[in-house]
Amino acid sequence: MKIFTPAELEGIGRMIHFVDSSVSEKTGLTDINDSYYAYIDRVSADIEKGPITPLLYRIAI
């Protein structure tokens, strides 16, 4: 079992904060849960329309 050091935990927290901030900025919403739902809905709609292909899907092909 991996036990994270305080420095690793701080780094993980900064990464989460960065992604949360990016998602909130893209959606214009302040509630992080609402932001993620809106962002995922938007990305899902774009995938269905065809303008983007998810990176993980491209890697798997």
Tens digits of residue pLDDT in 19-56: 999 999 999 999 999 999 999 998 888 777 876 766 65
Neighbouring residues of 32: CB distance < 8 A, sequence distance ≥ 6: 20, 23, 24
User: Is 20 inside any structural domain?
Assistant: yes
* Total number of domains constituting the chain: 1
47 located within any domain: yes
Question: Residue 1: inside a domain, yes or no?
Answer: no
Q: Model-level pTM greater than 0.85?
A: no
Q: Is residue 31 part of a domain?
A: yes
Contact 54, 47 (CB under 8 A): yes
Look up the domain containing 54 and give its range: 6-60
> Does residue 24 sit within a domain?
yes
